[in-house]
Structure 1
């Protein structure tokens, strides 16, 4: 077992205070602390002390992959298949879609053949992997996830009263199908020039209109907030098309491939397949490839009530079943009675609250809130005890 030294990513949208408040992580330079990465991803690989030497976790895995990961994971993935993050948003992230695995493999190969550098702004596929995600909220957490049911979408656009888009809205109302939704979405995110300016001006003009429904008022307040950062971005229309969901601390949701989404505010644990493939759809100054985005978007509305994950409670654990094999997640309520775990793959365990003690073959690691450990497959079993809560990720 190894205590992890983790990387903090200082993306501009990150909170400057949340990680200090939750975990006591210092921020002497008053930088946004957007994400704390736990894993072996090359863009932010954790470090461990091995044989008295600080080493990248990825190097340790590469040196003895079957010992560290286990034969199944080694054969199936050849690497640690997941990445665990603490994500803390003070401002909205870009609206984005992640490709399914077959599309990622094809796109990665195609862009390699085209000679597009991995760090190029116009590069869509940084690796050949999909990126399903799960979020477990540590604070109140707001996000957009998946298309609204079409009648809700139409009602909101009608209340927004944008004459520039009225024909498109009426076409969707008359033919509420995935094909027409795709055409409507294409029209909105492809807005340019005077038509884009007119549509956004109409939207902003009607934000404070009287007679709006309660739901519409909340959505338009969200749009007004977006406009302070992105006043001329087509992403301003996103809350009219996508479900807006609020998680309370302790609630979770899953985000599948080909589903448009954006994290808006709050702090949570984000667990995902180890990938950095992002196709953007708005609220960003970065490159947007509309055609590639549309090819990788599933135009199926998701009722908002279906978005939250229901955990399976057993004894001191809540397990979250996700429809992929790349990762599994358990949230553990700790007690002072040691509990034994049998290791089926490499694990990352993080103390969320209180204190956590891990023990295996006479070795002991003590963690406080915000700290984490890596447990290789070769450990075979370990015990844990403590106070508060921990989150355990494995595959």
Structure 2
């Protein structure tokens, strides 16, 4: 291959929870239709594959380019382990909450995908849980203040919050949790909430909103905000169960399989394994399979100070280590000095600020804020210079 670096043209997803101006305000990317710009996908996922500007072929799909020379594009190790680009990189901007969700383990994803195929459930069916046989660990990196819910609170804290709300019809199940503060009992209580009849659920939500009407602190403010967009949704109870956290710009959070979470508002970067498997628990009009979700949920409690990923700073780079092989993530501070970057796998670079020029012996490409590039494994080595900030996704 003569060309090993390509500028990307990426797919925008206009989901209704997206912000109209979040991505525009941060990156200066225009939104001429004024639709919600929820996500920009950078990668080779079939539902939103990036296009590349190839010197020989013109504008083509990144997945097609990878298929033509897989080992040169990905490296032999990645190609043997994953057969395609193993990660998907996104800009994500939420104006209202995404669904409360978990992602299955790799083993459960393979089993669930095979089972639903055997049952003849179409891949695009509304009641399909598993779109592929892959897991979906992910990392979110905040570009603006970024609010989310993630992992169960300490059980004692959950009990206190529910006792403060003091809904009569929940006194008995909460007292059971208080007397047996164990993940199994938390699982039982969570399942109880998810399987309420419509009339009981609506009654409990009505009582909840009445009880917290005068409360002006968290997590009750989050419940009130969610109620504006998702009235009569069982997800309104989740801020009492899950940690509510606001990441500050430059902070990141890794989410492993089986971790309950929901992104609530803000603009950030998300990198994940190349999968679309989502099991939902609330704050959604989409399909909810309570039993499948519960079987794929970790009921371990985590404290608020355990939620963030601790960065490792070395020279001009900030690394956010993750315990998976599908992806890695770094922030690179670039200046007028020329620095070399070794390429051990395919990379996607996104310019977060300024202007940075990438060069090899035969190629040169400049990225400005909001622009991205794909770097093939065969590049081997490239240099970068210019005052700016790059986000690097690789494996």
Q: Could you say whether these structures have the same fold, taking a TM-score greater than 0.5 normalized by the shorter chain as the test?
A: yes
Q: Residues 163 and 199 of structure 1 are in contact (CA less than 8 Å); yes or no, is this contact kept in structure 2?
A: no
Post-superposition offset of 1:198: 1.7
1:336 aligns to what? 336
> 1: CA distance between counterparts of 2:386 and 2:327?
24
Answer yes or no: is 1:83 the counterpart of 2:97.
no
2:35 aligns to what? 31
Post-superposition offset of 1:162: 1.2
Answer yes or no: is 1:19 the counterpart of 2:23.
yes
- Residue 131 (structure 1) aligned to one of 126, 129, 136: 136
Q: Residues 259 and 297 of structure 1 are in contact (CA less than 8 Å); yes or no, is this contact kept in structure 2?
A: yes
Answer yes or no: is 1:225 the counterpart of 2:241.
no
Alignment gaps of 5+ in structure 1: none
2:355 aligns to what? 355
> 1: CA distance between counterparts of 2:386 and 2:115?
50
Post-superposition offset of 1:339: 1.1
> 2: CA distance between counterparts of 1:54 and 1:108?
33
- TM-score, scaled relative to structure 1: 0.97
> 2: CA distance between counterparts of 1:355 and 1:309?
28
Alignment gaps of 5+ in structure 2: none
Answer yes or no: is 1:40 the counterpart of 2:44.
yes
1:299 aligns to what? 299
Q: Residues 16 and 33 of structure 1 are in contact (CA less than 8 Å); yes or no, is this contact kept in structure 2?
A: yes
User: Size of the alignment, in residue pairs?
Assistant: 390
1:193 aligns to what? 198
Post-superposition offset of 1:194: 2.2
Q: How does 1:241-256 map to 2 (within 5 A)?
A: 241-256=241-256
2:364 aligns to what? 364
Q: Residues 164 and 198 of structure 1 are in contact (CA less than 8 Å); yes or no, is this contact kept in structure 2?
A: no
> 2: CA distance between counterparts of 1:196 and 1:285?
16
Post-superposition offset of 1:64: 1.4
> 1: CA distance between counterparts of 2:304 and 2:339?
37
Answer yes or no: is 1:98 the counterpart of 2:123.
no
Q: Counterpart of 1:153 in 2: which secondary structure?
A: helix
Answer yes or no: is 1:60 the counterpart of 2:29.
no
Post-superposition offset of 1:193: 2.4
Q: Residues 90 and 266 of structure 1 are in contact (CA less than 8 Å); yes or no, is this contact kept in structure 2?
A: yes
> 2: CA distance between counterparts of 1:360 and 1:186?
56
Post-superposition offset of 1:388: 2.4
1:345 aligns to what? 345
Post-superposition offset of 1:57: 0.4
1:160 aligns to what? 165
> 1: CA distance between counterparts of 2:138 and 2:306?
16
> 2: CA distance between counterparts of 1:375 and 1:311?
24
> 2: CA distance between counterparts of 1:372 and 1:49?
12
1:319 aligns to what? 319
> 2: CA distance between counterparts of 1:348 and 1:150?
41
> 2: CA distance between counterparts of 1:21 and 1:293?
36
1:236 aligns to what? 236
Post-superposition offset of 1:377: 0.5
Q: Counterpart of 2:219 in 1: which secondary structure?
A: helix
The more displaced of 384-393 and 312-321 is 384-393
Q: Residues 98 and 130 of structure 1 are in contact (CA less than 8 Å); yes or no, is this contact kept in structure 2?
A: yes
